[in-house]
Amino acid sequence: MLGFGNSPQEALVAFLLAMTLVGILASSLVRRRSLARLTDLLMPAALLAAYWLTYNKVPPFPPVGAINKVFYLIAIGTAIGFAVEMAAPRAVRHLALLQPVAAALYIGAPRLGTASWEVALAAIVGMAVTGMVFLRGAGGAEDDVKRGGVVAVLALGFAPIALLGASSSSFQLCLMFAGGCFGILIIHATKPAFRFGGASAVGALGGLIAIADTVVLITRKADLIALAVLAMCLVLPIFSERVCRTLGLSRPFARLFVHVVLAALPAAAAFAVAYLDYGSSFPV
Amino acid sequence: MKYRFAALLLSMTALAGVASPASAAKFDIDPVHSGIAFYIDHLGFSKVIGVAQEFSGAFDFDASKPDASSLDVKVTVASISTNNKQRDGDIQSADWFNATEFPEITFVGKEFKKTTDTTGQIVGDLTIAGVTKSMTLDVTFNKEGQNPWDKSHVVGFSATTKVKRSDFGMKAALGMIGDEVDLVIQVEGREHQG
């Protein structure tokens, strides 16, 4: 990380705030100019910016090592996702489902042969995550904002798991990405005009899955219970519509709020599980 | 006749021995009497000391022709210890040495230069986490002779160098943990038998 702030924690908070503010700014700019289609690029751009702020580099191509591969999975995934969204929107669903398989095979290549089943499991779980986030629910801007919100919560919830999985860089990366996402999405909270399309699904969500693959398959220090609890982030929001109906909430902001809170509850629980598992060795 | 032929064969063999150029002896690194340690800055307060506990290698060396030497060393990443279990686990991660993908650090000597009677430099390729960079070792020749214990032929060196971890893609926590790593190496080589 670049060196400002009196402590690493302060520097991280400063970057987090900067990412959120830039997210708000970029999102407002794109929205004002009625470039709704381009909003699809905002979340992957936030992930690439967070990557650059974390590692201070654009890795050389072809990438060597999982950390460097992640950058190109995000960048190339974004470009392909956006292009397919423009050219053949129906193919995006298939592409989004293929990405976690490709990411698991690419990141987990050194484990093939010795732990192929772990790579296969990572691919299946990645597909399930993509399916739950991207393929569920209706189309339209409001649901796309909700999808973005769930991805942001997933990043936020995965950050402490990454930290305990011996990846302080992935921790920073996930936190900054989540900050950027919340900045981008808050602009669309009341009057949604956001697109969570091919670029967001393949570049941003797929990139986040690739980061998780790195911690789980390469560093191999993932807290599986915390990960299982975090997976509930994808399940609880299913009930958000029912909760909103019960509470009589109909405005987009309130519905989004309920949706994100339901996703955030398991993320908080995952953090608690990780914290309890590691106890005094939790690096705070 | 039989004796004459045997004498001729013997003298030819002896002559061949004298005539052939002196070749460098091959040494295996003796891990029991060798060590690789590194020092890395922690917030400017201290230097954390780490050691590689498992390494192997071999070198060719002839004191009269040091420039014809060779050196090949492998360090097992999983054996790197900094005297803290949590940290030792962390440095194996993808952010640092990435032991899963790159289980070994290697150094291959390419150029061997004598600077004084007892010092020299070895320029070689150091590969860490899949990245290869040229590195120069400053070497001091300590002693060559017979180990009085087991009569083996032994040669010993000390070496130091500095490497930047960021050159090898290790940029985690750069503001807090030093970029420059001091390496201190002690090597005892035993002449290869058989």
- Give the containing element (helix H, strand E) for A22: helix A8-32
Nearest residue of chain B to residue A52 (CA atoms)? B171
A219 at B interface, C-beta within 8 A:
yes
pTM of the model: 0.84
Q: For an interface test with A, which of B101, B105, B165 has the most A Cβ atoms less than 10 Å from its Cβ?
A: B101
- Give the containing element (helix H, strand E) for A231: helix A224-231
| Contact yes or no for A67 and B98 at CB 8 A | yes
Q: Which of A45-59, B5-19, B60-74 has the lowest average pLDDT?
A: B5-19
Cα separation of the two ends of chain A: 17
Residue A167 confidence (pLDDT):
74
For A73: left if phi > 0, alpha if psi spans -120 to 50, otherwise beta; the answer is: alpha
| Contact yes or no for B86 and A219 at CB 8 A | no
The answer for residues whose C-beta is within 8 angstroms of residue A168's C-beta and 6 or more apart is A283, B90, B95, B172, B173
CB-CB contact of A158 with A233 (8 Å): no
| Contact yes or no for B95 and A67 at CB 8 A | yes
Q: What confidence tens digit (pLDDT) does each residue in B94-111 have?
A: 889 999 999 999 999 999
| Contact yes or no for B93 and A110 at CB 8 A | no
Residue A262 main-chain phi, psi, to 5 deg: -65, -35
Q: What would the mean pLDDT of B141-166 be, rounded to a whole number?
A: 94
Average pLDDT along chain A, 284 residues, taken 10 residues at a time: 62 88 92 81 96 88 92 96 92 94 94 90 94 82 89 91 80 92 90 90 96 90 86 85 83 85 88 76 46
Give me the amino acid identity at B117: D
> Which chain A positions have a beta carbon within 8 Å of B164's beta carbon?
none
Confidence grade of residue B8 (pLDDT, cut at 50, 70, 90): very low
**Pairwise CA distance, residues A222 & A214, whole Å:** 10
Here the tokens at position A224 are 């599986």
How wide is the angle at C-alpha A176 spanned by C-alphas A170 and A108, nearest 5°? 30
- Give the containing element (helix H, strand E) for A180: helix A168-186
